[in-house]
Chains A and B, each alone.
Chain A
Amino acid sequence: MEYRVGAGTFRALNDVSFELPTHRVVGIVGETGCGKSTLGHAIPRLLPQPPAIVRSGKVVFRGVDLLRLPKWQMPSIRGTGIGMIFQEPINSLNPAFRVGDQVAEAVHIRRMRERGLDPTFRRDVQGTDYSRREMPRAGDVVSAPFVPPALVDRAKARSPPVSKELHEEVLSFLRLVRINDPERIVSLFPHELSGGMRQRIMIAMALSGKPGLLIADEPTSALDVTIQAQVLTLMKELMEEVQTSILFISHDLGVIAEMADEVGVMYAGHLIEFGPVAEIFESPRHPYTKALLRSIPNRYKSEGPLPSLAGSVPNLSRMPAGCAFHPRCPIARDVCRHDPEPPFVAAPAGPDGAVHRSACYFPEEVASLP
């Protein structure tokens, strides 16, 4: 994945290779600007082309390489195949339409495809079909009263925007994300909702396509801490209920540890470590992962200032030769400063046979770092 800007080109994604097994949650973690969001956007081909250029690589979804798919077929992958939740719910809902209509549109698209009425739709990449199953029961209701009563009365006066059946399904998806009064919420506009509520709507909208893969791009970063916890709890519960694969992107290692089964650590457009979440946290095999872990506040020990990682992510247009991390690495040696970059290799299999790979010449020494 490259960006072409003016006469210059730089690589935003490089050598990122992993598998996302069915019904598992893979977390992607890294600093700002490391390419994790670019990765999230590259999979459903949301990056604007130009300036983004895909030089090489594959995104295989249900046996189809999405990067080779003609552009006009991409919409049929989205929604029912791959769903996405974005970072800022304020911006990711269309300000001009009622939220009910926006969710209804996603439901409508899926229903058209289920009935074979969508001419662009590809059967071979059809969404996971859990439509015949009972809708999951809503758990505890967490949505608080936040809309002024005047708005409520007016909202009730507005007629339902869609057909009865569609309307019912929209309501059921809003109940799924623990919205306790969906009849009222559907006729509100995004700006009349709180941030947490908007993100619930976004989640409901993504889930209503019943996607096989859900990409959550920092879904809680823009929210208040308390709302963040609510939304994370909701997502955690939903993971059990809706059975899709999830790619969870976050800069917060704590969130990743909570949500993910496997973790990929990214640095400067490279995937530098990938493995089961427990393994990565207990025995990281890359000095960058170690440094990230060290900077998590520990609530039991407070020994002076938190350690922080000196320096910053290199500018993608001026990448250092060799290992991208060597300027900031405490164990860098000569071999790290020259090409080629360290290969992405698997560690000797652990007792449970899980694969744990990292891109470091000296993975054994990482354990000895402070």
Chain B
Amino acid sequence: MGRSKGDLVVFIGKRLLQLIPVLLGVVLITFIFTHLAVPNPCAAWAGPKATPSVIKGCEQFYGLNKPLPVQFEDYIVGLVTGNWGIDPLTHTAVLPSILAAFPATLELVLAALFLMVVVGIPLGVVAAASSGRVADHLVRIFYLSGWSTPTYIAGAVLFIWASKEFGLSGGAFSTITSPVPTITHMSVVDAILAGSPSATADALEHLVLPATALAFINMGVATRMTRTSMLETLPLEFVKTARMKGLTEFWVLYKHALRNALITTTTVLGLTTGAMISGTVVIESIFTWPGVGLYAYDAITSYDFNGTIGVVIFFAVVVVVANLIADVLYGLLDPRVEWR
């Protein structure tokens, strides 16, 4: 009930406990959608020429012949113990594959988030400060363009244009000339850790296009929210106080007004994690970026049910954790919020 460090720890602990029922619900819903909609995927996997005994064996192997509640129990036990099933086509385990791919996705999302913050937020401030004038119109057209462009078009156009103009190709590690030891599985971070400028430049070159595409389509969220909350903040008295101190308009806007407007923007940025992750599925498949999005794309299009379920649950966990981080950031940014 306050704002000390202890309160923050208690607050985060409570929120983590609250996550448990949400995650159980996530698993249950995923299970229902997959097991009720397709009670027996073995027939699909085995193909039309499969003999009944083959299908039977498949059912046996995946436990599909057991009653649904038992299947669900097995599934929960598997999830908790880290056994998320195996891909029936490639016979690789789901969870290790996802975890191995996650750093690449995290790197992509963080890079896009960085662009959204560095470009999107100042644009929102500019638009709000010139509300109703040409600069405002231009900014709005810019972010609504991103909003109106499907991810796959932005990605594909950028990809094809860049590979024609610069001969760039996708993939985090595909054409890296001087291989560096993989420590974090994030191409740029690994290259920096290895102390190799050429590898860093190469990794950045590969990161910049997918990150730009991902940032462009989600730019609207950062810019629009900043613009809206700036429009709400600018008429407030304390902005006048800041002006009356003799501060120039730049500091009035970017220190006093934006500091307050950022409180809302941060929350909303946390809530866009879901959209960003959805974006990675398309972007990663276009740029063959070896992340969870590409894994999800492959799993879904090859009807790999274990992989699909695993990826959906994994992404749900990521979204929930991102929302928790946004909540904590909100509390840190707004001194009036009490941690309870």
Contact = CB atoms under 8 A, between A and B. Distances in A.
User: Does chain A touch chain B in the assembled complex, meaning CB atoms less than 8 Å apart?
Assistant: yes
Interface of A: 41, 44, 46, 48, 72, 75-84, 86-88, 91-97, 105-106, 109-110, 113, 120, 150, 154, 189, 191, 202, 205-206, 209
Contact of A86 (B235, B240, B334): B240
Interface in B204-252: 235-238, 240-249
B236 A91 contact: yes
B333 interface: yes
Nearest to B263: A96
B336 A95 contact: yes
A288 to B, nearest CB: 29
Contact of A83 (B237, B240, B244, B247): B244
A205 B242 CA distance: 10
15 contacts: A46-B240, A46-B243, A72-B249, A75-B249, A77-B246, A78-B243, A79-B246, A80-B246, A84-B240, A91-B238, A95-B336, A96-B334, A97-B256, A97-B259, A113-B246
B82 interface: no
Given A94-B256, A150-B2, 20 more contacts: A44-B244, A46-B240, A46-B243, A46-B244, A75-B243, A75-B247, A78-B244, A79-B246, A84-B240, A91-B236, A92-B237, A93-B238, A94-B238, A96-B260, A97-B259, A105-B247, A106-B246, A110-B246, A189-B335, A191-B335
Contact of B244 (A72, A79, A87, A189): A79
Nearest to B248: A75
B148 interface: no
Contacts of A205: 241, 245
Contact of A78 (B3, B246, B260): B246
Contacts of A48: 235
Contacts of A96: 259-260, 263, 333-335
Contacts of B18: none
A279 B220 CA distance: 62
A206 B242 CA distance: 11
A191 B247 contact: no
Contacts of B248: 72, 75, 120
Nearest to A113: B246
A41 B249 CA distance: 17
B231 to A, nearest CB: 12
A25 to B, nearest CB: 19
B245 A106 contact: yes
Contacts of B236: 91
Interface in B87-129: none
